[in-house]
Chain A
Amino acid sequence: MTVRRDAIIVGGGIHGCSTALHLALRGFRPVLIEKDYAGRHASGVNAGGVRQLARHVAEIPLSIRSMDVWEGIEDLLGDSCGFENAGQVLVAEDAAELDACRTRVADLNLRGFDHEELIDAAELRRLVPAVAETCPGGIVSRRDGAAEPARTTTAFRRRAESLGCLIREGVAASNVRREGGQWRVDAGAETYEAPVLVNAAGAWAGRIAAALGEPVPVETVAPMLMITSRVPAFIRPVVILRGRKLSFKQFANGTVLIGGGHLATPYPDTGETVLDWRKLQESARTVFDLFPVMRGATIVRAWAGIEARTRDDLPVFGPSARHEGLFHQFGFSLHGFQLGPGAGAVMAEMIATGHTNTPIDGLRIDRFARA
């Protein structure tokens, strides 16, 4: 049976769900197709960082736009998503790293961005009292924070559905094609047809793009995370390191999340991952060094979410360079969660109006062809 909709979104991560919601808010009646369930992979199991801090300049405007959506997320979704904005702090472990921080902030200021702020040792200690005393300072982005990823993605999904988006979970999108000026996608017994197709399929999006003649240098990765049992509150902002791979955050319930980008082995065909405990041991040693207070904390769970990483670590975001009505929204390369809410808004804006005022030129899909 063929079902006509206004747009077809492939992928039920935070990006697909956010685009679905924002299209629905603009009066569209999209269908979202998700092979597992919304938030099954990276969007549901990432570190939950809501971070403008330390981003590539090409995605800073999108990140800032997204921050505005985050700050109104409860009004938008009817769910706080566990969002807290106690700031994010990038820690320099020595003088050389602090110098690099200083250069970075000066460069951003020249470009007109003022969300990152250089801090000295005293301010670092004020913000993060538990950090090792040898650290000379860093950068803070005070509006940043964190949210609960599965809850957030699920909240977008539910709100989109309540506004008329059709959600198809547990069926894979297949046979993506353009016929007679319409996009057609098979899912289960149905064929969906729409003038607009959004490729937001995360780790699986590269295959769709390639099949439509727009190959992108993208690999499948699975960053690992681990979380402790509940401990008393001792750290408010999210902490990331400039040098070593570590991010560190305490949720309101007391659990502490330890991440930083060490990778598991992904098996995208089955959706499984195999963790690399020797790398997690490195993370544990870094925490051991920098947060002595955490040495006796208990690690309760560890996991990895499968996602796509591009060659230049920047997402592919915007209209196709080849096909009318096709839009890409993938390859967020381990830092797409904060961008999700804003990217959905920008994507819906582009689909509905044909343009957006948010500068996203550096994220075009044809940048790889030009290079």
Chain B
Amino acid sequence: MSAGPTRSEYDVVVVGAGPAGLAAAATAAGAGLSTLLLDENAGPGGQVWRAIDTTPVRAPDLLGRDYWAGAGLVAEARASGAEILQGATVWGLDRNLEVAVSIGGGSRFVTARRVVLATGALERPFPIPGWTLPGVLTAGAAQTLLKSSGLVPEGRTVLAGQGPLLWLLAAQILRLGGGIDLILDTAERANWRQAWRYAPGFLFTPYFAKGLALMREVRAKVRVVSGVTALSAEGDGRVERVAYTAGGRRETVPVDTLLLHQGVVPNVNLAMAAGVKHAWDPIQLCWAPVLDETLATSVPGIAIAGDGAGIGGAPAAVVRGRIAGLAAVEALAPTAVRRGPSMETLRVARDRAERGRRFLDLLFRPSRAFRIPDGDTVVCRCEEVTARDIRDAVAIGATGPNQLKAYRRAGMGPCQGRLCGLTVTELMAEARGMTPEEIGYYRLRPPVKPITLAELADMPQSESAVRAVVR
């Protein structure tokens, strides 16, 4: 049983030890603020630098320079004096800045004078027929397996979707000696019409050269089908085939593993549960928190950094983390000695890190066909609610995601809408002829991650007690 936080009150509590959280904690603790960094994974790094301490993939060019760039920030955070707790799942936060965390089988409550949420992003739902079949995973899942355990898919493997991560994953799988049979590219060619205006800004970012090199590396070894307009996973008890349509022709290929990806979206659950105001981003097609220039939210004392503040990528996340950390220092210890860059310098760095983003957002905007499913395609994976179920509920009176709960259990399972919320909002908006902003989102509440009753009671769950089961 690991120890919980050493204190019950902190100047700053940071949630999430990815690029933004590490930077925020290092900045706040470095200026002398008592700082607690909570992260639910076994080690720091978030998704982008996952398992940076422990990965078996040690040869530097296999995971790439951007991956190993995280080591410096991890070291800085550790040296900063911040208390860093891994395996610590934050499940509650409210406007009183009370943080509820589950660690080592028990629940602890700590209060903060400032909270920085750096809960990052998650992959956009990809609701195609058969996406719940065993053997269908997200590309991010495959990348996690690759980074943390050196695992690559075995057997016939197909990647489907679009976006930078898809190509990066493909390159990494190939470098580690894995095989990829086919890439099904769902990027809409028409997106170029909106995106090209922003291309000049993008050309001067490091993403441009890196992206081109990755695509070249992958295309040299893998067959790529572009312009895919329909996609489904098929099989009995596990995925066996993937069917796709490209250029008006439908094809079916046998598959053992299907990896899906169509971009990432902010992970909003904890922020929304704390009452932070969010707005629909019509470009990125997701909810994003309403923030001021120091990343402060509508709830006094709570700031959001990293991709949770709107997708910006890892370099932007680091700068945003420093901005949120520095804002906490300026508010709580205005006379503290500061070693890092000034707020003005950070704002310039942030603008630079976010340059080119609009181009990527528009170019890789997922098409309607892959966001708003039809028929019996599962929308809510937890409660197994289909697109048809939701349209039927709309037809008999459900007006929004929360009203839907009177008809269907969509969003009421353990994932709490993370895998269906955006789909439900957009689907109901389309069905009712309204905007996603008007339709709204699930009303979220703590616990944002399920906890056991024993954990909440903060009581030991002894073997003998546990075995006293009603038959």
- Does B397 touch A at the CB level, under 8 Å? yes
Instruction: Mark out the residues of chain B between 402 and 417 whose CB falls within 8 Å of any chain A CB in the assembled complex.
Output: 402-403, 405-407, 409, 412-414, 416
- What is the bound-complex CA distance between A253 and B412, given in angstroms? 12
Give min CB distance, B393 to chain A, whole Å: 10
In the complex, chain B residues whose CB is within 8 Å of the CB of A72 = none
- Does A352 touch B at the CB level, under 8 Å? no
Closest chain A residue to B469, Cβ basis: A293
Of the listed stretches A59-67, A183-191, A275-283, A330-338, name the one at the interface; the rest are far from the partner chain: A275-283
- Does B92 touch A at the CB level, under 8 Å? yes
Choose from B409, B445, B466 the contact partner of A296 (Cβ within 8 Å): B466
- Residues of A at the B interface (CB closer than 8 Å) are 37, 39-40, 44, 129-130, 148, 150-151, 153-154, 157-158, 169, 228-229, 234, 253, 272, 274-275, 277-278, 280-281, 284-285, 287-288, 292-303
Cβ of A288 and Cβ of B109 under 8 Å apart? no
- 9 pairs of A and B residues whose beta carbons are closest in the complex: A150-B406, A154-B406, A284-B457, A284-B456, A288-B457, A298-B450, A295-B454, A285-B457, A130-B470
Closest chain B residue to A170, Cβ basis: B399
- What is the bound-complex CA distance between A341 and B107, given in angstroms? 40
Choose from A151, A272, A296, A303 the contact partner of B461 (Cβ within 8 Å): A296
Instruction: Mark out the residues of chain B between 367 and 411 whose CB falls within 8 Å of any chain A CB in the assembled complex.
Output: 396-397, 399-400, 402-403, 405-407, 409
Instruction: Mark out the residues of chain B between 430 and 471 whose CB falls within 8 Å of any chain A CB in the assembled complex.
Output: 445-447, 450-454, 456-459, 461, 465-466, 468-470
In the complex, chain A residues whose CB is within 8 Å of the CB of B469 = 293
Give min CB distance, B399 to chain A, whole Å: 6
Q: Give the number of A-B contacts (CB < 8 Å).
A: 107
Cβ of B406 and Cβ of A296 under 8 Å apart? no
Secondary structure class of chain A's binding surface, majority of residues: mixed
- What is the bound-complex CA distance between A153 and B397, given in angstroms? 13
In the complex, chain A residues whose CB is within 8 Å of the CB of B453 = 228, 284, 287-288, 294-299
In the complex, chain A residues whose CB is within 8 Å of the CB of B396 = 158
Secondary structure class of chain B's binding surface, majority of residues: loop
Cβ of B414 and Cβ of A300 under 8 Å apart? yes
Q: Known interface pairs A285-B457, A295-B453, A296-B453. Does A277 touch B407 (Cβ–Cβ under 8 Å)?
A: no
20 contacts between A and B (CB under 8 A): A37-B399, A130-B470, A148-B406, A151-B407, A153-B406, A157-B397, A278-B109, A281-B107, A284-B456, A288-B459, A293-B468, A293-B470, A295-B454, A296-B461, A296-B466, A298-B414, A300-B412, A301-B445, A302-B445, A303-B445
Cβ of B445 and Cβ of A275 under 8 Å apart? yes
Give min CB distance, B135 to chain A, whole Å: 24
Cβ of A295 and Cβ of B461 under 8 Å apart? yes
- Chain B interface bracket (under 10, 10 to 19, 20 to 34, 35 or more): 35 or more
Cβ of B451 and Cβ of A298 under 8 Å apart? yes
- Does B95 touch A at the CB level, under 8 Å? yes
- What is the bound-complex CA distance between A157 and B403, given in angstroms? 12
Closest chain A residue to B460, Cβ basis: A295
In the complex, chain B residues whose CB is within 8 Å of the CB of A150 = 405-406
- What is the bound-complex CA distance between A221 and B453, given in angstroms? 25
Give min CB distance, B272 to chain A, whole Å: 12
In the complex, chain B residues whose CB is within 8 Å of the CB of A148 = 406
- Does B164 touch A at the CB level, under 8 Å? no
Most B CB within 10 A of own CB, among A39, A151, A281: A281
Q: Known interface pairs A296-B452, A301-B445. Does A277 touch B461 (Cβ–Cβ under 8 Å)?
A: no
- Does B12 touch A at the CB level, under 8 Å? no
- What is the bound-complex CA distance between A278 and B397, given in angstroms? 38
Cβ of A295 and Cβ of B470 under 8 Å apart? no
- Does B96 touch A at the CB level, under 8 Å? yes
- What is the bound-complex CA distance between A130 and B94, given in angstroms? 34
- What is the bound-complex CA distance between A130 and B470, given in angstroms? 6
Cβ of A272 and Cβ of B414 under 8 Å apart? no
Give min CB distance, A47 to chain B, whole Å: 15
In the complex, chain B residues whose CB is within 8 Å of the CB of A297 = 452-453
In the complex, chain A residues whose CB is within 8 Å of the CB of B452 = 295-299
